[in-house]
Amino acid sequence: MNTREYITSGVLEAYLLGVISEEEEQEVQEMAFAYPEVKASLLSLEEEIELLCLESAVPPPAQTWTKIQARIGKSEIQKHQPYADPFSDAGAKSKEPPKPEYLEVEVNDTHLRVHKYWRPAFIAVFILGKIFLACFLYYYFKSNSLEQEVERLKAETKEIRGR
């Protein structure tokens, strides 16, 4: 297979989307290293996909960020400083371990969160539990009243026989 056929085969698109196996991924990397035409095509495809994603992106509503800030509160978010490059001279001088580049968020949530597809199942189990509880109580009291009726009838028959 020549490079033009390889480029038009769709393997590069699948590679950029991350839907190929590890062997195919290794093959694409080797082809991009060996053939500059494949590498150039890979870079242009990457730019096209990125532009397509940027063009089709939908911006969030205008007040979203202020609503998020109001809901979370400023005391719960702490921004960490980006860590120094471990390969640079400045990073080698510091003794501190590198700090991650993410927000540390403290959540104090007391509610149980359930995925929306599991909600009907939990509601059905809850309702069935109530139905079974009602049936259990009904039959429990019914059997107690029947036992009392049997005891009353036994006492009555003993009284009648005793006369």
Strands (E), the chain: 77-79, 103-105
What gap in Å lies between CA 156 and CA 162, rounded to an integer? 10
- The domain ranges of the chain are 3-56, 72-105, 116-163
Model confidence at 86, pLDDT cuts 50, 70, 90, reads very low
Other CB atoms closer than 10 Å to residue 6's CB: what's the count?
18
- Collapsing DSSP states into helix, strand and coil, what is residue 35? coil
What gap in Å lies between CA 32 and CA 3, rounded to an integer? 10
Mean pLDDT, rounded, for 105-116: 76
Amino acid at 32: A
Q: Is the pTM higher than 0.85?
A: no
What gap in Å lies between CA 147 and CA 93, rounded to an integer? 87
pLDDT score of 30 more than 70: yes
pLDDT score of 118 more than 80: yes
Mean pLDDT, rounded, for 60-68: 82
Dihedral sign from CA coordinates of 135, 136, 141, 144: positive
